[in-house]
């Protein structure tokens, strides 16, 4: 009877799905050569299921099969073909034997077009939804190609004209003169989607799209060693001042926030709604299959008192799982595993239904949150950015937060997901592989899912006697007017349990000649003279913060004075050096007009000095990416930049 009712209410949705009765099985492992070195870009073919995959740069692979075992045919240039039967019980370690290959043996397999190596088109394009094929020889690092498709950083290359990814244009913050603009005001940003997104560009041998590079999200991808807050406020505020690496006459101000960490067993009860895009655009290996694996990881974090509902949308929106206790993990995972992609994208209807379900199961004092997973490709219903933003702004009044997880390449709508997360009192992450899913949904579970402070704003007032000009690095889409700081009706960013937030200001001290400060005629009706007492003061600036409790309407104020002192770059902390290295890397990727003497080699040296213990390997990964960019760029260009 329930099945009949569902069919009556959601025929368009069900028509776009296939019935799935079999459980998916995951085969993963590493392919290496006899000396133990990994074999990247090896082709894997499972003939029985017509499934193709490939290894990433570490030789790793990840495949979803409808059966627990499969026969893998593995091929790679300069290696002997190998056929092996594997099962899902444990990760596989497969060794290939290298064969003798004469120089030029592969030349006749390639065509050269406009000096770029391009593979001849394959005639066999038959691979199933949820899997991905790649010819390892197509990795020619051609700038005429962009990446599309990833599972654990395995790619397919497609020409640029097939790309329909959307990014908001970023107009970089400029240097401002303190006598004209003494106040700098912005909303915090804990999103890190930009970093994982640009990582998949670099891993595929291409430079990221400039507007995909948001420097504040790169900086905030990493955790910093800040002191924990006291009992008065939910976060601690630290500042550090030192020399600017890319201009020795300038200085950098490092501002850090450390949110208090709430133990898992003390976290509020969660009322979650998984809102999953199952439209036709999600029918790729790096989308729905990766999404399903991600949400299964999240399900494992739930407690018995938590509850989850699942809403999906394609041609229509429907509830595939009513609110269910976190103790019933098998039921939740089964519902996730049986999703199939197909149809158009009724994103607006899905969001409305998800908020309705969240309100019906609302937990007073709890963590009421929708987790939207999509490539952002809304095309039916509330599809315009303005209309979608108004919908989210209205719905957030219910006290339900919104987390947005982005998936996929080629038609990824970064700009739309940024707006949804910002207006929905939530955060935005980009999931490019299962490791990133573990970081966001397991390692940083509290920070991603549990808000400890909302509408967090920062305002810095500079002393014109000490500071001639300043520039906030990044945060372009988080800038606020000076009067917004005291306006409790003005929306701002949220801070999660254990989260850190970091911001950098590049400062031009008084007396330093600079082409960045534009001259302005003297004012006719008012004076902008510097008060003599400020010249005698040792205060460089005052940093102020406002925040509200998660369920509060009245903001609280924190103030911190920064005094003028000289701390040489060689004596700066790991926190300072690492954030400076990331900022320098970001400016180079953006080809910023403010990069001045920045170079990849200098950024790499800074990063290596600040790498520290790096327990999770995130910092080592960024250093590798920086080094990779020096290879992607033309010879000598990395040094010039």
Count other C-beta atoms under 10 Å from residue 531's C-beta: 11
Domain count, the chain: 3
Of 137, 161, 185, the position where a domain reaches its end is 161
Q: How far does Cα 246 stand from its chain's mean position?
A: 26
Relative to beta strand 556-563, strand 493-496 is unpaired
* pLDDT score recorded for residue 389: 79
Q: Is residue 563 part of a domain?
A: yes
Which strands form 367-374's sheet, in the order they lie side by side? 317-325, 307-313, 270-277, 367-374, 401-406, 428-430
Q: Is residue 17 part of a domain?
A: no
Do 303 and 224 have their domain in common? no
Is residue 514 within 8 Å of 468, Cβ to Cβ? yes
Of 96, 127, 161, the position where a domain reaches its end is 161
Q: What is the CATH number of the domain that holds 44?
A: 2.60.40.1120
* pLDDT score recorded for residue 286: 86
> 0.85 cut: is pTM over it?
no
Cα 403 to Cα 415: distance, rounded to the nearest angstrom: 15
Give the residue carrying structure tokens 């006291």: 230
**What 3-state class would DSSP assign to 142?**
coil
Q: Is residue 170 part of a domain?
A: no
* pLDDT score recorded for residue 244: 98
Q: Is the dihedral of CA 376, 381, 387, 390 positive or negative?
A: negative
Cα 535 to Cα 537: distance, rounded to the nearest angstrom: 5
Q: Is residue 513 part of a domain?
A: yes
Cα 231 to Cα 234: distance, rounded to the nearest angstrom: 7
Do 211 and 292 have their domain in common? no
* pLDDT score recorded for residue 227: 95
Do 214 and 345 have their domain in common? no
Give the residue carrying structure tokens 């010879």: 635
Count other C-beta atoms under 10 Å from residue 148's C-beta: 23
Domain of 145, in residue numbers: 22-161
Q: What is the CATH number of the domain that holds 280?
A: 3.40.50.410
Nearest to 417 by CA among 257, 601, 426: 426
Q: Is residue 574 part of a domain?
A: yes
Is residue 458 within 8 Å of 493, Cβ to Cβ? no
Do 58 and 152 have their domain in common? yes
**What 3-state class would DSSP assign to 8?**
helix
Q: Is residue 68 part of a domain?
A: yes
Do 65 and 198 have their domain in common? no
Give the residue carrying structure tokens 């005629």: 521
Q: How far does Cα 619 stand from its chain's mean position?
A: 15
Q: Is residue 562 part of a domain?
A: yes
Count other C-beta atoms under 10 Å from residue 222's C-beta: 19
Task: Please give the structure tokens belonging to residue 234.
Answer: 């939910």
Of 402, 420, 448, the position where a domain reaches its end is 448
Do 474 and 615 have their domain in common? yes
Do 356 and 409 have their domain in common? yes
Transcribe 396-423 into DSSP letters.
GGGS-EEEEEE--SSS-BHHHHHHHHHH
Do 148 and 180 have their domain in common? no
Count other C-beta atoms under 10 Å from residue 67's C-beta: 15
Relative to beta strand 493-496, strand 401-406 is unpaired
Helices (H), 469-540: 532-536
Distances (CA, A) of 238 to 44, 166, 215, 228, 502: 50, 36, 20, 10, 10
- pLDDT less than 50: residues of the chain: 1-22, 101-162
Is residue 163 within 8 Å of 148, Cβ to Cβ? yes
Q: What is the CATH number of the domain that holds 182?
A: 2.60.40.1230
Task: Please give the structure tokens belonging to residue 205.
Answer: 């041998």
Cα 411 to Cα 137: distance, rounded to the nearest angstrom: 24
Transcribe 543-604 into DSSP letters.
EEEEEE-TT-SS-EEEEEEEE-----GGG--HHHHHHHHHHHHHHHHTT-TT-TT--HHHHH
* pLDDT score recorded for residue 283: 87
Helices (H), 401-547: 414-423, 434-438, 445-449, 532-536
Helices (H), 312-406: 329-337, 347-360, 385-395
Distances (CA, A) of 95 to 36, 72, 98: 8, 13, 10
Q: Is residue 575 part of a domain?
A: yes
* pLDDT score recorded for residue 448: 86
Nearest to 568 by CA among 250, 242, 247: 242
Element housing 628 (H / E)? helix 618-632
Do 420 and 569 have their domain in common? no
Do 421 and 556 have their domain in common? no
Do 274 and 244 have their domain in common? no
Helices (H), 193-234: 193-203, 215-219
Dihedral angle of Cα 563, 569, 574, 577, to the nearest 10 degrees: 100
Is residue 430 within 8 Å of 401, Cβ to Cβ? no
Is residue 453 within 8 Å of 157, Cβ to Cβ? no
Do 251 and 302 have their domain in common? no
Is residue 183 within 8 Å of 459, Cβ to Cβ? yes
């Amino acid at each position: 009877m329930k099945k009949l009712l569902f069919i009556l209410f959601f025929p368009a949705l069900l028509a776009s799905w296939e019935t799935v009765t079999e459980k998916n099985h995951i085969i993963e492992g590493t392919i290496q050569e006899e000396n133990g070195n990994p074999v990247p870009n090896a082709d894997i073919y499972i003939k029985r299921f017509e499934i193709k995959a490939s290894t990433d740069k570490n030789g790793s692979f990840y495949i979803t099969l409808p059966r627990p075992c499969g026969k893998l045919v593995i091929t790679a240039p300069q290696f002997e073909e190998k056929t092996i039967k594997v099962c899902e019980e444990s990760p596989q370690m497969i060794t290939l034997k290298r064969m003798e290959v004469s120089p030029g043996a592969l030349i006749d397999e390639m065509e050269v077009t406009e000096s770029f190596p391009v593979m001849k088109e394959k005639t066999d394009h038959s691979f199933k939804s949820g899997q991905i094929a790649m010819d390892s020889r197509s990795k020619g690092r051609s700038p005429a190609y962009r990446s599309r498709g990833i599972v654990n950083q395995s790619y397919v290359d497609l020409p640029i004209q097939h790309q329909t990814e959307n990014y908001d244009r970023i107009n970089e913050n400029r240097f401002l003169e303190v006598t004209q603009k003494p106040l700098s005001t912005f909303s915090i940003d804990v999103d890190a989607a930009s970093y994982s997104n640009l990582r998949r560009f670099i891993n595929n041998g291409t430079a990221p799209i400039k507007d995909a590079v948001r420097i504040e999200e790169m900086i905030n991808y990493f955790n910093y060693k800040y002191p924990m807050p006291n009992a008065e406020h939910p976060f601690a505020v630290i500042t550090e001042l030192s020399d600017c690496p890319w201009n020795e006459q300038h200085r950098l101000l490092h501002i850090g926030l450390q949110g208090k960490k709430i133990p898992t067993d003390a976290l509020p009860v969660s009322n979650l709604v998984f809102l999953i895009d199952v439209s036709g655009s999600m029918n790729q290996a790096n989308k729905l299959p990766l999404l399903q694996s991600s949400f299964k990881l999240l399900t494992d974090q739930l407690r018995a008192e938590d509850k989850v509902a699942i809403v999906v949308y394609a041609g229509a929106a429907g509830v595939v799982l009513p609110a269910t206790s976190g103790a019933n993990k098998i039921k939740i995972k089964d519902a996730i595993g049986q999703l199939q992609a197909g149809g158009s994208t009724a994103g607006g209807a899905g969001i409305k239904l998800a908020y309705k379900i969240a309100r019906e199961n609302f937990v007073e004092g709890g963590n009421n949150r929708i987790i939207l997973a999509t490539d952002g490709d809304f095309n039916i219903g509330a599809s315009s950015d303005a209309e979608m933003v108004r919908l989210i702004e209205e719905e957030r009044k219910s006290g339900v937060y919104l987390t947005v997880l982005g998936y996929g390449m080629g038609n990824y709508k970064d700009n739309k997901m940024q707006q949804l997360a910002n207006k929905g009192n939530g955060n935005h992450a980009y999931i490019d592989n299962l490791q990133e899913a573990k970081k966001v949904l397991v390692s940083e579970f509290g920070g991603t899912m549990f808000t400890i402070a909302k509408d967090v704003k920062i305002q810095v007032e500079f002393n014109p006697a000490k500071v001639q000009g300043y520039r906030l690095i990044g945060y372009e889409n988080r800038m606020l007017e000076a009067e917004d700081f005291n306006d409790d009706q003005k929306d701002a960013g949220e801070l999660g349990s254990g989260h850190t937030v970091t911001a950098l200001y590049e400062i031009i001290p008084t007396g330093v000649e600079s082409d960045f400060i534009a001259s302005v005629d003297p004012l006719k009706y008012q004076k902008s003279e510097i008060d003599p007492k400020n010249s005698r003061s040792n205060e460089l600036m005052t940093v102020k913060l406002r925040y509200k409790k998660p369920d509060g309407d009245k903001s609280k104020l924190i103030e911190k004075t920064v005094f003028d002192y000289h701390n040489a770059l060689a004596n700066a902390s790991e926190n300072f050096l690492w954030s400076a290295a990331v900022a320098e890397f970001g400016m180079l990727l953006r080809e910023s007009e403010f990069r001045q003497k920045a170079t990849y080699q200098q950024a790499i040296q800074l990063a290596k000095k600040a790498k520290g213990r790096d327990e999770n390997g995130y910092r080592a990964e960024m250093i590798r990416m920086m080094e990779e960019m020096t290879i992607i760029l033309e010879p000598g260009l990395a040094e010039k930049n």
